[in-house]
Structures are given as C-alpha cells and as structure tokens.
Amino acid sequence: MNNVLKNKNVDLKITSKHSQKYIDALLRNSRNMGLDKYFTHTANGDKAFTIEAPNLKFGLGVISELGEDAKASGITKAALFVDPYVEQMDHFLKATASLKTAHIDFEVYNEIEIEPTDRSFRNASRFAQDGNFDGFISIGGGSTMDTAKAANLFATYPADLFAYVNAPVGEAIPVPGSLMPHIACPTTFGTASETTGIAIFDILNQDMKTGIAHRALRPTLGLIDPQGLTTLPSAVIASNGFDVFSHAIESYTAKPFTQRIAPKSASQRPLLQGANPYSDMACLEAIKIVGENIEKAVNQSSPLEELEALSLAGMLAGIGFGNAGCHLPHAMSYAVAGLVKNYKPEGWPKDHPMVPHGISVIVNSPAAFSFTSVACPQRHLKAAEALGEDIRNIPENRAGQVLGDKVIKLMKKTGLPNGLMGVGYSEEDIDALTENTLPTRRLLDISPRPIDKEDLKTIFRDAMSYW
C-alpha cells in the first residue's frame, strides 16, 4: 500500500492499514467540523487564521530515503546532528548509508545535550558557522532537532543568542529570512519538533527554560520512520506519549484565534495563533490514538504496531500545536524541568538530575485542566470523549474532573510519577515554580482562562499529588 494524503505542502506516505484507518478518521472529521461556536467572532479579535502545513514523509523504512531527499533539497554538504546514543544504532547506519549512496558529503556533530541549554546551542552554532555547510540533517529526539534548528539559524543569521529568543526573556527579533534546508529525522515521537518552528533550551544561570519560535525554523522536511522507535525504553515511550497527549489537549482547549487581538498587518499574525478548525482535527485524532495505544506500547515489548500509531499521533499533535500553541501544562513544565533537584528517571542517562519533558508536562496537566475547564467545558469533555469516556450525562461543571481522572488513570497504568512530589518537589517549592513560570507569556497568554500569579500557585499546589 502506498496511499498518499495531500494537503498543500503535506505529503504523508501511508505504509500500513493500521496508519490508514487513522487518516480515514481524520478525513471524516474534516467533513464534520466547521467553525463551531467556540470560534465566534469578537469585536477586536482576529478574523483569520493561517495554515502552515509542514512537509512530512511518514512510513516504515523511510530513513533509507534520506539521501534522495537531501539531494532533492539541494544539500551537498550537510551538518549531521545526532544524539550520541542514536549514533550507535542501526537506524543511524541506515541513514548514513543512504547519504553515502546519494553522494552527500556530511560532518557529524554529536555533542547534543539532552534538554538543550544556552551553552549547547552556542557550541552547536559555532560548529555550524565554521563548517561551510549548505544544509542540516538531525537524527534523534527533540533535543537533537532543536539544536540543529538553532545552529541553522545562527549560522545563517549570526547574532547574540538572545536576539531571537521569545520576549520577555529575549529580544524576540524576527528571523530575517529563510534558513538553509533542514531534514529532521525523529527517533522519538513526543516533541514533534520535525513539524514546528520552535526550539526550546535551558538558561543555565537562571534555572529556567525558554525558546525561539518562528516559522522559518520549521524543518524543510520531517522524515518520520516509526522503526526508529523500537529501541526506546518503556519509560521514554510513556513520557513521549503523554507529551503528545498534552500537546493535543492544550491546543484543542487553547484560547480561540478569534479572541486574540487582530494584528495590525498580516505579517504580524503569530506562528501560534490559538485554537482553530485546522488544528482541532489533528488534535482530537491524536488524543484518540494515544488513548488507544499508549498502555500497550509501554507495557508490551517491541510493539511496532502501537509505536507506529503513536508516531502518527505525535505527528498529528505537532501539526496541531504547531499552529495553535500549547498553554498551562507546557508553561509550567519549563519551571519543573529548570528547577529540578535530584530526580533521575529510569530510561535516561544518570549523569545529572533531570525531569524529561513529557513528564514535566503531564505532572501538571490534570490540575491545569481542572482550572481551564471553566472557560470551555465542552472542549474538555470532548477531549475526555476522545479517550473513550461516555460524556452524554456529564454536566459541564464536572468537565475538568472527568478529563483529569482519565489522565490520572493512564498515568497510573503506565508508571508515571504521582504529580510534582513524584519528581522531587514539595509545597515549599511553589513560589519558585511560580516565579519561573510567569515569564512564559507566549504560553500563558494562550490559556483559555486568564491566569495570574495566585492562580499559578493554586495549580502547582493541586499538582503536588493525585493519588
């Protein structure tokens, strides 16, 4: 089978019936979902949203087409970014063999920090500036892809690191123009960095996360091969799956684009626009796929069929949040990861404490959804329904609780930590967590319910433990 779904710049090659049924469902939803009441126009709100579809190729074995794709992108000498653990795997050997067959010159850069930092972004940028490359290839998880994005940016338009960083932490200077070609080949499925124009990193001397968000950072091509996931430890699968899951729910429940103040000019419309009908379709399907597959994927050895489905879910959620944006759980996650104390999770290197991104997100999600559900209860109920909940007789005032309970149930079944206490925090840390979350205005402002400092403290307190 080699069916193709085309939508402007989207080219999804579907290689199995398992994937095809989800694409069929997505297309059915697209015929049934119009501008619902959530998108009612407001006096000063935007009247339009922009669809920026990533260029993607999805399927078992497509990593072996990397060389052809690099040649088609005009790459002759590539900066090849790879996670040092991935570098030892057969998936990487297939990729480099394909590049050699296509006569693509490349130089490997493997000094990737898991959860990138301002230090690692600067080091990677120096490598890229010195190498006289005409293209970038990244093979690994979100850390690898984000590092390659930053290196591409600073090699093309050299500047101080914080020139392009989101305000108020950085200057938020717009990227001046297009970057060199970048082919992103994920070996995880949580961040969906191959679909977005976002690069996230830690500021070491401030114990906080921030990022660069601009459409120019979106990779030229995302080459998504689910076979690259088969070596992931179960804990990493769980973390990735819940990152996808929260991406999708946050984007679906985000402030609608019609409530964002209309830009003065079309060029000022932001990359992350708020919930919109295009993102809705992808997000609801991603929630459903994760709910159907994550438990089996985590608790069964080498479940390629479920990993293929979760990889597709990650791609769909990336399309969704890459246009809509995430809100509270992700905003809070940056503080949770940045202020980590002694937590060293199973499945990750033990050389330093860390809270993996998906875990730092999901420990906040039930409490955050309880808070945001007041603003759009039907959307929270719809998310619970996508997880299999019968919502026919559930009143709107229970929407947040019902969705939160479904998330908590899945967390228990897949061995996730029990809230913030499970990753080493206590109520004594609430003030610090709150202060480190407040600068993430890009995310907080997309929350469907306005939030202030005291609200954040309450949510962090509610997220300390769930069972």
SS3 letters across the chain: CCEEEEECCEEEEECCHHHHHHHHHHHHHHHHCCCCHHHCCCCCECCCCCCCCCCEEECCCHHHHHHHHHHHCCCCEEEEEECCCHHHCHHHHHHHHHHHHCCCEEEEECCCCCCCEHHHHHHHHHHHHHCCCCEEEEEECHHHHHHHHHHHHHHHCCCCHHHCCCCCCCCCCCCCCCCCCEEEEECCCCCCHHHCCEEEEEEHHHCEEEEEECHHHCCCEEEECHHHHCCCCHHHHHHHHHHHHHHHHHHHCCCEHHHCECCCCHHHCCCCCCECHHHHHHHHHHHHHHHHHHHHHHHCCCCHHHHHHHHHHHHHHHHHHHHHCCCHHHHHHHHHHHCCCCCCCCCCCCCCCCCCHHHHHHCCHHHHHHHHCCCCHHHHHHHHHHCCCCCCCCCHHHHHHHHHHHHHHHHHHCCCCCCHHHHCCCHHHHHHHHHHHCCCHHHHCCCCCCCCHHHHHHHHHHCCCCC
Q: Give the tens place of pLDDT for each residue, 167-223.
A: 889 999 999 999 999 999 999 999 899 999 999 999 998 888 889 999 999 999 999
Confidence of residue 22 (pLDDT cuts 50, 70, 90): low
* Residue 41, domain member (yes or no): no
Q: Could you give the number of structural domains in the chain?
A: 2
Mean pLDDT, the chain, rounded, equals 91
pLDDT at 6: 41
407 and 314 within one domain: yes
Q: Give the tens place of pLDDT for each residue, 419-430.
A: 999 999 999 999
Torsion, CA 352, CA 354, CA 357, CA 360, rounded to 10: 180
244 and 192 within one domain: no
Task: Read off the pLDDT of each residue in 238-244 and give the average, rounded to a whole number.
Answer: 95
Q: Give the tens place of pLDDT for each residue, 431-462.
A: 999 999 999 998 999 999 999 999 999 999 99
348 and 394 within one domain: yes
User: Among 34-38, 92-96, 347-351, 436-440, which is the least confidently predicted range?
Assistant: 34-38
338 and 439 within one domain: yes
Identify the CATH number of the domain in which residue 371 sits: 1.20.1090.10
Confidence of residue 20 (pLDDT cuts 50, 70, 90): low
241 and 162 within one domain: no
pLDDT at 16: 58
Domain end (from 224, 255, 289): 224
Task: Read off the pLDDT of each residue in 134-154 and give the average, rounded to a whole number.
Answer: 97
Residue 10 has pLDDT above 80, yes or no: no
202 and 75 within one domain: yes
pLDDT at 30: 47
pLDDT at 21: 66
Q: Which pTM was predicted?
A: 0.88
pLDDT at 25: 62
Percentage of residues in the chain having pLDDT higher than 70: 92
Percentage of residues in the chain having pLDDT higher than 90: 83
314 and 275 within one domain: yes
Q: How far apart are CA 186 and CA 93, in angstroms?
A: 15
382 and 240 within one domain: yes
383 and 328 within one domain: yes
State phi, psi for 14 to the nearest 5 degrees: -100, 125
pLDDT at 300: 80
241 and 171 within one domain: no
pLDDT at 392: 93
Residue 98 has pLDDT above 90, yes or no: yes
Q: Give the tens place of pLDDT for each residue, 259-313.
A: 999 999 998 898 899 999 999 999 999 999 999 999 999 998 657 899 999 999 9
219 and 72 within one domain: yes
270 and 207 within one domain: no
Identify the CATH number of the domain in which residue 88 sits: 3.40.50.1970
